[in-house]
């Protein structure tokens, strides 16, 4: 693995992953929709290209730029917030993902690395269970699930190696989306009352630089047609994560558990098992939740100013 294409390269996880590849001496062609990257830093082995991945012909025009061996695909619109319920947008994401896989084969890549989500695993209990009445937020989960399955079929047909890392919950410095850790830390900074569900549902969180390292290792060493959960190795009930965050970032704070109803899926701890990633690729998370949330809060304070 020497020459890599990374889509969604200027996003939160994408930009960290680009840097991870560069730090390891790889050449990266970074694709994103903005004319100029906001997060990526200049590097002698980095080329940035504005590209709308919905336009496969634009992707295929890259063929003259040299031989690539790996395509890492992060580009996915509406991964947080209300856009998760936009089925037109999410179905387009599915199509874009499969089209990128097919295009990567034509660009000479032998390996395609997708970006899965732990929410794929919620589909069985939230949607397929007898009597289930899934909410609109499951549109995103279903789209990720569908993209994964269709990529497996397309990869088997075209003869490209598919590796599918599954992110549990990434967080860290640089995240701007309204996801759980970011939103909670902002409330702490603002001195707002902290209200949560009972927190009994199982969760895991992993710091973004660890996620980037996991993607590199999965791209380099992952077995074809295998999926790898990227987690801390210490999944547990959400309540325990919240208490650890507060102990690190807001000692003495009195959280209110049970004030917010929870109707989502409850995954078993086994769903968060990262051991295949350790066994096949040698990955083990390095930044603990207390340290990671502290780093993130200090950064949020600086951008607030």
Tens of pLDDT, residue by residue over 205-245, are 999 999 999 999 999 999 999 999 999 999 999 999 999 99
Average pLDDT over the chain reads 94
How confident is the model over 164-204, as pLDDT tens digits? 999 999 999 999 999 999 999 999 999 999 999 999 999 99
In the predicted structure, residue 305 carries a pLDDT above the cut 80: no
- Is the dihedral angle over the CA atoms 91, 96, 99, 104 positive or is it negative? negative
How confident is the model over 114-166, as pLDDT tens digits? 999 999 998 877 777 778 787 888 899 999 999 999 999 999 999 999 999 99
- Specify the pLDDT at position 132: 75
In the predicted structure, residue 61 carries a pLDDT above the cut 90: no
- Specify the pLDDT at position 63: 60
Q: How far apart are CA 80 and CA 176, in angstroms?
A: 10
* Interhelix angle 289-304/238-249, nearest 10 degrees: 60
The closest alpha carbon to 283, from 236, 227, 222, belongs to 222
8 A C-beta contact, residue 26 and residue 4: yes
Q: How far apart are CA 8 and CA 74, in angstroms?
A: 5
Q: How far apart are CA 222 and CA 161, in angstroms?
A: 10
DSSP codes, the chain: --EEEEETTTSHHHHHHHHHHHHTT-EEEEEESSSS-SS----TTEEEEE--TT-HHHHHGGGGG----EEEE---S--SGGGGG-HHHHHHHHHHHHHHHHHHHHTT-SEEE--EEGGGGGHIIIIISTT----TTHHHHHHHHHHHHHHHHHHHHHT-EEEEEEES-EE-TT--S--HHHHHHHHHHHT---EE----SEE--EEHHHHHHHHHHHHHHPPTTEEEEE--S--EEHHHHHHHHHHHHSTT---EETSS---S----GGGG--HHHHHHH-----S-HHHHHHHHHHHHHHHH-
- Hey, what domains does the chain have and what are their CATH numbers? 3-304 (3.40.50.720)
The C-alpha R_g of the chain, in whole angstroms, comes to: 19
- Specify the pLDDT at position 65: 61
Q: To the nearest whole percent, how much of the chain has pLDDT over 90?
A: 83
Nearest-5° Cα angle at 102, 100 to 108: 100
In the predicted structure, residue 300 carries a pLDDT above the cut 80: yes
């Amino acid at each position: 693995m020497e020459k890599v294409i990374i889509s969604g390269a200027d996003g939160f996880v994408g930009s960290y992953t680009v840097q991870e590849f560069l730090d390891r001496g790889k050449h990266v062609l970074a694709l994103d929709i903005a004319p100029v990257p906001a997060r990526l830093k200049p590097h002698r082995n980095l080329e940035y290209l504005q590209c709308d991945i919905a336009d496969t012909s634009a992707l295929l025009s890259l063929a003259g730029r040299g031989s690539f061996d790996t395509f890492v695909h992060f580009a996915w619109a509406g991964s947080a917030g209300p856009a998760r319920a936009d089925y037109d947008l999410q179905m387009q994401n599915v199509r874009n993902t499969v089209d990128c896989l097919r295009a990567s084969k034509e660009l000479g890549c032998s390996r395609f690395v997708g970006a899965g989500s732990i929410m794929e695993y919620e589909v069985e209990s939230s949607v397929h269970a007898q009597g289930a009445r899934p909410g609109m937020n499951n549109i995103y989960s279903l789209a990720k699930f569908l993209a994964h399955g269709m990529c497996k079929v397309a990869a088997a047909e075209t003869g490209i190696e598919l590796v599918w890392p599954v992110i549990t919950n990434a967080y860290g410095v640089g995240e701007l989306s309204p996801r759980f850790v970011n939103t909670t830390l902002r409330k702490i900074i603002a001195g707002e009352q902290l209200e949560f569900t009972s927190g009994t549902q199982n969760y895991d969180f992993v710091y973004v630089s660890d996620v980037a390292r996991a993607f590199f290792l999965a791209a380099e060493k992952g077995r074809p047609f295998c999926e790898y959960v990227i987690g801390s190795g210490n999944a547990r009930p959400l309540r325990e994560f919240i208490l650890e965050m507060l102990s690190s970032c807001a000692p003495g704070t009195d959280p209110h558990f049970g004030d917010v109803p929870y109707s989502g899926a409850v995954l078993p701890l086994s769903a968060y098992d990262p051991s295949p990633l350790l066994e096949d690729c040698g990955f083990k998370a390095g930044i603990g939740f207390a340290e990671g949330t502290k780093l993130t809060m200090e950064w949020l304070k600086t951008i607030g100013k």
